[in-house]
Chain A
Amino acid sequence: MSLIFSAKRFFSLLVAILVFSSSFASDHHSEEAGIAKREFNVREMIMHHISDAHEWHLWGGHHDAVSIYLPIILIDGGLKTFSSSHFYHGKPLEAKDTTSKKEVAYVAGVGPATGYAMFEEEIYKLNSEGVLEINAGKVVDAESPFDFSITKNVLSLFMGAVLILLILSNVARFYKKNGPVAPKGLAKYLEVLIVMVRDDIAKANIGEHKYKKYVPYLLTIFFFIFINNLLGLVPFLPGGANLTGNLTVTLFLAVCTLLVTLVSANKNYWLHIFAMPGVPKPLLIIMIPIELVGILTKPFALMVRLFANMTAGHIIVLALVSIIFINQNAAWGGLSVPMALFISVLELLVAFLQAFLFAMLSALFIGAAVEEAHH
């Protein structure tokens, strides 16, 4: 496993170098030659693909792009819902970045979106002069409404949830209909995973007597991450969103594990944090803060691991495909396609591995929290 991680880290580094050097190179090139401003920008393309958006881009570029405009839901002195096309087909504006002195493009909404502007997929309220002020790549002095829009990630989340329900209800129906028999069809494949989560993850880490209560949570978290990881690898609708590579999602999942851990923690767990047995009293002054930080670092590691692994996977595949567009020559596909294919296959493994690891480590933390004293 460590081999995969280190290989992955190596690839991420490689790609980061590739991405940054190439994007700098292209900037440099365009400035020097003064040719078309909208040249292929790898960094922009990759960031666009791994970030959330208010539209689901299907194909085409710029003016002939075909997208699904997703609904925008704002809470700003009342509920406001409208299509995101009012931004994407809104009024393009430019602001001068006060630090870099560069012109930065953003769009002001039209129709029902009037009064709002979108900059880097973030929605702001226009100020009294009807513009946004941007400093060092960030909008300053602008209120932002609560944005509960059905973004690309939210839609992907819904589709993932529906997919999970469809697949698993099929399995559940099989067992309801046939009772305790040898599994057939879809159940045959999923039972392996379900039993793996129950035995190798829950029972092995939480202990024979207490694991049963946590199996549904661990199963849900495993299948949620696994199915959404796989959906993220599909390059077109209904896949393609980088849901499990989104920090907000991984943050939520990590917080869930943290809460489950804290809620089920017993006296022994807290004793180890506030009064580690066998540690001299003065040392506790150092130990207690360390232990308290330790409570948070565990889910923090969960959050970052899933986010970084999935995002890195997407970046690698996108960067490898970009080789063709950077060189403006389809022949580079001979290099880029096999490499992207290899990474995609590796990502299939990573999709499973990360779901497994998240559930495994969650079980480990819960196991540590419910462990009885044995000294």
Chain B
Amino acid sequence: MGLITPDLGLLFWTGLVFVLLLVILTKFIWKPILTSVNAREQKISDALELAEKTKAEMVALQASNENLLKEARAERDAIVKDAKEVATEMVEKAKAEAKAEANKIVESARATINTEKTAAIAELKNQVAAISLEIAEKIIRGELSSDEKQKALAEKMAGDINLN
């Protein structure tokens, strides 16, 4: 059998075996293998896509969380600020009230003192008047104790009236 002369018998057997092999392999072997491999590749690509999507979602979620956190912080700050303001106000108000009360107390104390003073002065005046009256009575009594004296006084008074 020459090296480069085609051989009919071998050609026949090669053809037979190859065609049978092609049919059997295509039907029973390549098909299930390729189906599985394709299905797996699909599965993997799906999974990757899902992972990518989830990742994007996570990023979005994180961003929204961040926003939420920021808002919450801002709100907290606002609340704290308000509270501080209110507290300050309250303190101010309390202070003002206290001051007003104190002023009032001082005022009323002053009024009381004034009243007392007036009363004291009035009493003093009364006493002074009474004492003066007593003194005057005593003096008048002294003046009027003799006739001459009564006469001198009456004259003097009459003189005063004349002068007027």
Chain A positions within 8 Å of B, measured between CB atoms, are 47, 50-53, 73, 120-122, 146-151, 153-154, 157-158, 161, 164-165, 168-169, 171-172, 175-176, 178-182, 191, 194-195, 198, 215-217, 219-220, 223-224, 246-249, 251-253, 256, 311
Contact B1 A121 (CB under 8 A): yes
Q: Are A216 and B25 in contact (CB under 8 A)?
A: yes
List residues of chain B with CB within 8 A of the CB of A122.
Answer: 1-2
How far, in Å, is A177 (CB) from chain B's closest CB?
A: 10
Q: What is the chain A residue whose CB lies nearest that of B36?
A: A175
Complex: A165 Cα to B26 Cα, angstroms: 11
Q: Does B22 contact A (CB under 8 A)?
A: yes
- Are the CB atoms of A247 and B6 closer together than 8 Å? yes
Whether B9 pairs with A154 at a CB distance below 8 angstroms is: yes
Q: Which residue of chain A is the closest to B7 with respect to CB atoms?
A: A248
* CB <8 Å contact, B21 and A51: no
Residues of chain A within 8 A of B37, CB atoms compared: 175, 180, 191, 194-195, 198
Take A147-B8, A247-B4 as given contacts and tell me if A175 and B33 are in contact as well, using a CB distance cutoff of 8 Å: yes
Q: Are A47 and B32 in contact (CB under 8 A)?
A: no
CB proximity of B5 to chain A, nearest CB, Å:
8
Q: State A176–B39 Cα separation when bound (angstroms).
A: 12
- Residues of chain A lying within 8 A (CB to CB) of residue B34: 194, 198, 215
The distance in angstroms between the C-alpha atoms of A217 and B21, with both chains bound, is 10
Judge whether B21 and A154 touch: CB under 8 Å.
Answer: no
Q: How far is the CA of A98 from the CA of B36 in the complex (A)?
A: 65
> What residue of chain B has the Cβ atom nearest to residue A121's Cβ?
B1
Min Cβ gap B47→A in Å is: 11
A248 & B6 in contact (Cβ 8 Å cutoff): yes
Across the interface, name the chain A residue whose C-beta is closest to B27.
Answer: A216
Interface string of B128-150 (1 = CB under 8 A from A): 00000000000000000000000
Is A215 in contact with B30, judged by CB distance below 8 angstroms?
A: yes
Chain B residues, Cβ within 8 Å of A158? 17
Q: Is the Cβ of A157 less than 8 Å from the Cβ of B7?
A: no
B36 and A256 contact, CB distance less than 8 A: no
Q: Does A224 contact B18, Cβ atoms closer than 8 Å?
A: yes
From residue B157, how far is it (CB to closest CB) to chain A in Å? 147
Query: By the criterion CB–CB under 8 Å, are A220 and B25 in contact?
Result: yes
- Besides A122-B1, A148-B12, 4 new A-B residue pairs in contact (Cβ under 8 A), listed by A number: A146-B9, A175-B36, A175-B37, A220-B25
Residues 53-89 of B, flagged 1 when their CB comes within 8 A of A and 0 if not, give 0000000000000000000000000000000000000
Q: Are A164 and B6 in contact (CB under 8 A)?
A: no
Check if A180 sits within 8 Å of B40, measured CB to CB.
yes
| Chain A positions within 8 Å of B25 at CB level | 164-165, 168, 216, 219-220, 223
A223 and B3 CA atoms in complex are apart in Å by 24
A249 to B17, CA, bound (A): 11
| Contact between B36 and A179, CB atoms less than 8 A apart | yes
Closest A residue by C-beta to B31: A216
Chain B residue with minimal CB distance to A173? B32
Query: A217 to B22, Cβ gap below 8 A?
Result: yes
Measured in the bound complex, the distance between the Cα atoms of B140 and A77 in whole Å is 200
Known: A220-B21, A220-B25, A248-B6. A194 touches B33 (CB 8 A): yes
Distance A194 CA – B14 CA, assembled complex (angstroms): 23
**Using Cβ atoms and an 8 Å threshold, which residues of chain B touch A194?**
30, 33-34, 37
- Bound together, the chains give a CA A191 to CA B38 distance in angstroms of 12
Complex interface: chain A residues within 8 A of B12 (CB): 148
Contact B17 A157 (CB under 8 A): yes
Known: A191-B37, A247-B6. A252 touches B30 (CB 8 A): no
B24 contacts partner chain A, Cβ-Cβ < 8 Å: yes
